[in-house]
Amino acid sequence: MVFISTQEKSQLNNMIENADLIFTLSHIFQLLGWAFLPLLMLPIMYFLFSKNQFLKSLSFGIVSTIDTFNYYIGEIVKWLLPLMVLTISFSIFALSIFGKSWTKLFETSEYFHASVIMLGAASTLLAGKHVRVDIFYSKMNNISRSLVEIIGFYSLLLPVCIIILWNSQSFVRSSWMILEGSSEIDGIKGEFLLKTLIPIFSVLMIIQGLSISLRAVMYILRHEKPLLPLNFDDTFINENSFK
Amino acid sequence: MADILAISMFAITCIALMGGYNVAFTLSGMSLLFASIGVITGSFEVEFLLSLPGRIYPLITKEILMAVPLFVFMGVMLEKSRIAEDLLEAMGNLFGPLSGGLGISVIFVGALLAASTGIVGATVVTMGLLSLPTMLKRNYSPALSSGAIAASGTLGQIIPPSIVLVILGDQMSNAYQEAQRSLGLEETGVISVGDLFAGALVPGLILVFLYATYIFITAYFKPNLAPSQSWPEGPSPWVFIKKTVVAMLPPILLIIAVLGSILSGYATPTRGAALGALGAIYLASYKTSEYWLFKLSSICAATSLVFLIIIDLTGIDIRFNQTLWSKTESFTHLIALSFASIAILATFLSLASLVKRKHLHDVSRSTMQITCMVFVILIGATVFSLVFRGLGGDELVNNLLEAAPFGKWGALSLVMLVMFVLGFFLDFIEITFVVVPLVAPPLLATGMDPIWLGVLMALNLQTSFLTPPFGFALFYLRGVAPKEVRTGDIYRGVIPFIIIQIIVILLVVSVPSIATWLPSATLK
């Protein structure tokens, strides 16, 4: 016989109710993902039907929307970094001098750290600040660089992010079901939110990669490209140095 | 079959990296390609990839890795405050009459900059832009100048606090635990990032000393390579000494404070890094603001925090939740509280001055970009190692190391050689994350000291980044060097420094206590 207290029983009931809701939600998200999947073929379609006006304006809109979106996400989450410096410093002095231990405060900095990485990565991709081995790359002309971007997106970035996205389903779902919290007693009860950052990261990276490969196709076809957001003038194509 | 796949995965990924796509996604994407070949041929289980999110999650939440963005923030902020420029100018004037004086100044400023930023590319580029034109103008030979700059730029990896040592330390401590488990030992010892910082400090300082000595000797015997110059017209030498001290004191104090708090165990690396970042905020706001109120507030904030730490070190118990308050205790408590409120207020004023001049915007943005770059590489490298292990690559490496001739020394030389060659193509972070988990456990299982091994690896990779024709530091320098400096000059210039590197590596190999003495001394 297993003894279950009434409190645990109500928790268990809650969990089962939650489970239904979360399963439904995760199915909805999955369906949304399938629905948007064909959009990933857009760069290829654009290349094949380069005369099609609809594709042209659609791509133009998508690229500028994605770039603006990710740019502003980056501009917002970057402020978490100075906040992180302040919260950690504050919690050090509070703990070592006044003996006040605010686990919650220290853990907020963990949330800041994770959010900066997972949400800022796409903005970094947009800015072209992810490191490359540029022994040969620096000698390539802009057409080859554009091709590297397109091939890289379809054969490297996209599969990786889709695998991470697909495999994170059960990881995130099981965390949401118990609304997982910190392992510390007085910690923040939001670990499920932290874990959700992983699929969000994949989605942001996929759409940013899509936008960059669309830009690359536009470059190859010598079509007009949307302007880059402020402060971001050095993505993969260096307009000023034709070689 | 799996073995062949594992080996060819490594080789072909290295080739694919030359294509120039993002390193992080080339690593992970190529490994997925080989994983799918493995699934088809039945040598890879697809369930392996299910654990992927569970492996990414610790990367973004581990406390020790939070030190990375904080150190980056500190470095970028210090760069913004232009301390390197001031320092180089003051020191160059002061030591100008000494033979090789400017060259020695460049080494010291480079070391200081390296200690504060810890990012190779940034240091080499900054030093190249700052000091190369000055050195050439003063008729230093292009080879000697570029050698000195490239070498001092790579010091960023070995002189703590550096972000690569944070990542290497984290990986080493995992590997050490794994080695202990595989030997069936109880957890007899753990190593921390702080230990690695302590271990790398002495070899780093030896390097700085030897670099400077080399320049001094060259300048002494061949004055035409590094001509000295007379004092600038006008004021007495004391003015220059004062200028140098004023320029040097704040960054040195900051670095000593950060390192001291970490090495003495007062703060974890993460907390020490946060304090360093806070100090950098004060320094930058003092340097860049033109209003006395802001200058005053950053001084106020820094001094009240120093007083708070002094109060803490006196050992007077001023915690809130105590019942018995003696007179001194409540008095000190009151003082501490007022210092704390001054510090908070003044910190916000300093931040306001940085926000006003948009410095905080730029610093936060570049910090975010560097941090994301590092962590996305970590994620990519995690996928790569997961697939490599899934294909049985770790067994393969293990067997290979066991089969190496001359026992553990043969294995060590083999690992060092492989890492050296990989250093031509990959960054420190990728190598640390991919190679160290594979090779470190079998090496450590032979009874090697983890700190010693970590320092050796760091020195080895630093040398690799200096070695022509593929060294990273040389590429960075080439990128910013003026046209009259030929690539051949750069290559010739770094060779003496590579010899110095090899001497120090051999020194650490033969006298391990150079690396292990300080960690064991701080532990007690």
| Cα B246 to Cα A108: distance, rounded to the nearest angstrom | 37
CA dihedral B319, B322, B324, B327 (to 10 degrees): 20
Contact B162, B272 (CB under 8 A): no
Contact A124, B373 (CB under 8 A): yes
Cα–Cα nearest to B514, from B437, B445, B459: B459
Per DSSP (E only), the strands in B314-451 are none
Q: Which two tokens stand for residue A143?
A: 């057409």
pLDDT at A234: 47
Q: Which two tokens stand for residue A221?
A: 């076809």
According to DSSP, the residues that pair with A132 across neighbouring strands are B22
Q: Which two tokens stand for residue B210?
A: 């030897």
For residue B47, what is the DSSP state?
G
Closest residue on chain B to A195 (Cα): B57
Contact B150, B466 (CB under 8 A): yes
DSSP string computed for B337-358: HHHHHHHHHHHHHHHHHHHHTT
Which run of H or E residues covers position B119?
A: none
Mutate to test the interface with A, among B25, B44, B119 (most CBs of A within 10 A): B25
Q: How far is CA B102 from CA A33, B126, B241, B305, B438, in A?
A: 61, 16, 15, 36, 43
pLDDT at B133: 81
Say which residue the tokens 């109710």 belong to. A17
Nearest-5° Cα angle at B222, B220 to B228: 60
Chain A to chain B Cβ contacts (< 8 Å): 206
pLDDT at A1: 41
User: The complex's ipTM?
Assistant: 0.89
Cα–Cα nearest to A232, from A119, A126, A145: A126
- Return the HEC string of B16-79: HHCCCCEHHHHHHHHHHHHHHHHHHHCCCCHHHHHHHHHHHHHHHHCCHHHHHHHHHHHHHHHH
Nearest CB to A133 within list B308, B380, B425: B425
Question: B276 in contact with A at a CB cutoff of 8 Å?
Answer: no
pLDDT at A33 over 50: yes
- Contact across the interface for B20 and A137, Cβ inside 8 Å: yes
* A89 to chain B, closest Cα gap in Å: 6
pLDDT at A100 over 60: yes
In this prediction, residue A9 has a pLDDT band, given cuts at 50, 70 and 90, of: low
For residue B62, what is the DSSP state?
-
CA dihedral A75, A79, A84, A89 (to 10 degrees): 150
CB burial of residue A215 (10 Å; 0-12, 13-18, 19+): buried
According to DSSP, the residues that pair with B180 across neighbouring strands are none
| Cα A209 to Cα A123: distance, rounded to the nearest angstrom | 11
Contact A242, A142 (CB under 8 A): yes
pLDDT at A152: 92
CB burial of residue A100 (10 Å; 0-12, 13-18, 19+): middle
pTM of the predicted model as reported, rounded to 2 decimal places:
0.87
B441-472 per-residue burial string, b: 16 or more CB within 10 A, e: under 16: bbbbbeebbbbbbbbbbbbbbbbbbbbbeebb
Which amino acid would we find at residue B58?
P
- Contact across the interface for B351 and A89, Cβ inside 8 Å: no
pLDDT tens track of chain B, all 524 residues?
Answer: 778 888 888 888 888 888 888 888 998 999 999 999 988 888 888 888 888 888 899 888 888 888 889 988 988 888 788 777 778 777 777 777 777 788 888 888 888 877 776 666 667 777 787 788 888 888 888 888 889 888 888 887 888 888 888 888 888 888 888 888 777 666 566 778 888 888 898 999 999 999 999 988 888 888 877 777 666 666 667 777 777 787 778 888 888 888 888 888 778 888 888 998 999 999 889 888 888 888 888 888 888 888 888 888 877 777 777 777 788 888 888 888 888 888 899 899 888 888 888 889 989 998 898 889 888 988 988 888 888 888 887 778 777 777 777 778 888 888 888 888 888 777 777 788 888 888 888 888 887 888 899 999 999 988 888 887 777 778 778 777 787 888 888 888 899 999 999 999 999 999 888 888 887 777 65
In this prediction, residue A8 has a pLDDT band, given cuts at 50, 70 and 90, of: low
pLDDT at A117: 94
Nearest CB to A92 within list B69, B275, B336: B275
CB burial of residue B359 (10 Å; 0-12, 13-18, 19+): buried
- Contact across the interface for A129 and B369, Cβ inside 8 Å: yes
pLDDT at A241: 31
pLDDT at B231: 61
For the ranges A75-79, A219-223, B91-95, the maximum mean pLDDT occurs at A75-79
pLDDT at A243 over 60: no
Contact B200, B160 (CB under 8 A): yes
Residues 305-324 of B with CB under 8 A from A: 305, 308, 311-312, 318-322
Which amino acid would we find at residue B255?
I
pLDDT at A211: 92
Q: Which of A60-69, A155-164, B84-93, B316-325 has the lowest mean pLDDT?
A: B316-325
Q: Which two tokens stand for residue A107?
A: 């853990």
According to DSSP, the residues that pair with B22 across neighbouring strands are A132
Q: Which two tokens stand for residue B42?
A: 């039945």
pLDDT at A239: 40
* B78 to chain A, closest Cα gap in Å: 14
Residues 396-425 of B with CB under 8 A from A: 425
Cα–Cα nearest to A170, from B345, B49, B275, B181: B49
pLDDT at A242 over 70: no
According to DSSP, the residues that pair with B197 across neighbouring strands are none
CB burial of residue A47 (10 Å; 0-12, 13-18, 19+): middle
Q: Count helices and strands (H / E) in chain A.
A: 9, 0
Contact B445, B457 (CB under 8 A): no
Give me the count of residues in chain B. 524
Q: Which two tokens stand for residue B10?
A: 């490594």
Contact B308, B339 (CB under 8 A): yes
Contact B374, B68 (CB under 8 A): yes
Nearest CB to B25 within list A75, A140, A157: A157
Contact B396, B7 (CB under 8 A): yes
Instruction: Give the residue, A13 or B264, on which the prediction is more confident.
Output: B264
3 state SS of B65: helix
pLDDT at B32: 92
3 state SS of A58: helix
Helix, strand, coil shares, percent, chain B, to 5: 80, 0, 20
Q: Phi/psi at B224 (nearest 5 deg)?
A: -70, -20
* A120 to chain B, closest Cα gap in Å: 6
Question: A193 in contact with B at a CB cutoff of 8 Å?
Answer: no
Q: Which two tokens stand for residue A193?
A: 């939110």
Contact B519, B195 (CB under 8 A): yes
Question: A203 in contact with B at a CB cutoff of 8 Å?
Answer: no
